[in-house]
Amino acid sequence: MTLINRLCGVVTALAVTLQFNANAEAGAPQQKTQAPAYYRLMLGEYEVTALSDGTFQMDADKILTNITPKELEASLARSFLKNPVETSVNGFLINTGSKLVLIDTGSGTLFGPTLGKLLSNLKASGYRPEQVDEIYISHMHGDHVGGLSADGKPVFPNAIVRAAQQEADFWLSKAHMDAAPQERKDAYQGAMNMLNPYVSADKFKPFDGDTELVPGIRAAASHGHTPGHTVYVVESKGQKLVLWGDLMHVAAVQFPDPAVTILYDTDPAKAASQRKRVFADAAGQNEWVAGAHLSFPGIGHLRTAGSGYTFVPVNYGALP
């Protein structure tokens, strides 16, 4: 081998090494997306699909009440969190075999681009909005009713919408909106914009108190967070799931201390007592629970821990 040939070999090897290093440094582009956010489990014979509407940054420091800033910081730190807390918004789709029931609808366009994803996740999960037979609303805050309508038309054209009569009386009343302070008027208007397309099509059917809505699903009054706040109980083949709506908002804080309340409670004392009652039931009966603001998919069990509770998220599972 001549000196020239040997030098050429060294130069080529060097070039390959440099190229390899350059590629390694550039790396694969980061994708920065999550998988479509739906999660399924079977409850007896019923199929339950948790649907994510997205997340938002909750300024717990400003909106949680009946807790000191120091206590809040300590509670969040125990869960490796700090304020603001990234918080899920979840809805739940129940297929009983004869009815397809959606419980809460997410935010639609009411709360910006990090939310409003429930519809696309419902589609990603294999269903179409026109297949939904019934929609049960835990309460009429925007992050629960915002997905009902778009541009003044129902998003779920074949669905009957149901909520507690007290909730309808409170949020769909123009007199209440007119009497409300300026900063609260939008909440009434949002509820009206979302519900009224169903009201005028005669597809809104409020109920009064604890009521069976379809076989296997019943409403259970838990008024306090709002005047008609309702949890929904799903039962099949001896298995039970209680869908909490906004019975609680910040897991890291309100499981250890259910007395912590939130600025948006219309009756904070009543909201706290309902939370304590439903938590005690859940822990005592070993039932499944699901929360609109529990970290997605927001399904699990509760057990007692000292004077409070620990939430045990569902174990990931394939479907049969």
Asked if 134 interacts with Zn ion (CB under 5 A), we say no
Interface with Zn ion by CB under 5 A: which range of 60-68, 157-165, 180-188, 242-250?
242-250
Contacts made by residues 148-151, CB under 8 angstroms, sequence distance 24+: 148/105, 148/108, 148/194, 148/195, 148/197, 148/198, 149/108, 149/193, 149/194, 149/195, 149/196, 149/197, 149/198, 150/108, 150/109
Binding mask 85-124 for Zn ion (x = CB under 5 A): ----------------------------------------
For residue 264, the minimal CB distance to Zn ion (Å) is 8
For residue 113, the minimal CB distance to Zn ion (Å) is 18
Residue located via tokens 């998220």: 313
Q: What does the buried/exposed string (b/e) look like for 83-117 if buried means 16 or more CB atoms within 10 Å of the residue's CB?
A: bebebbbbbbbbbbeebbbbbbbbbbebbeeebbb
Among 53, 134, 167, 246, binds Zn ion (CB under 5 A): 246
* 30 three-class SS: coil
According to DSSP H, which parts of the chain are helical? 3-26, 60-63, 69-78, 118-124, 142-145, 165-171, 174-179, 182-200, 251-254, 268-285
CA distance 123 to 156: 12
What is the footprint of Zn ion within residues 137-196 (CB under 5 A)? 143
- Nearest to Zn ion of 96, 193 (CB atom): 193
For residue 195, the minimal CB distance to Zn ion (Å) is 16
- Nearest to Zn ion of 134, 265 (CB atom): 265
Binding mask 19-58 for Zn ion (x = CB under 5 A): ----------------------------------------
Interface with Zn ion by CB under 5 A: which range of 136-144, 224-232, 254-262, 306-314?
136-144
CA distances from 219 to 89, 92, 215, 232 (A): 20, 15, 11, 5
For residue 59, the minimal CB distance to Zn ion (Å) is 14
For residue 141, the minimal CB distance to Zn ion (Å) is 5
- Nearest to Zn ion of 46, 111 (CB atom): 111
For residue 16, the minimal CB distance to Zn ion (Å) is 57
**Residues of the shown chain interacting with Zn ion in the complex, contacts defined by CB under 5 A:** 143, 246
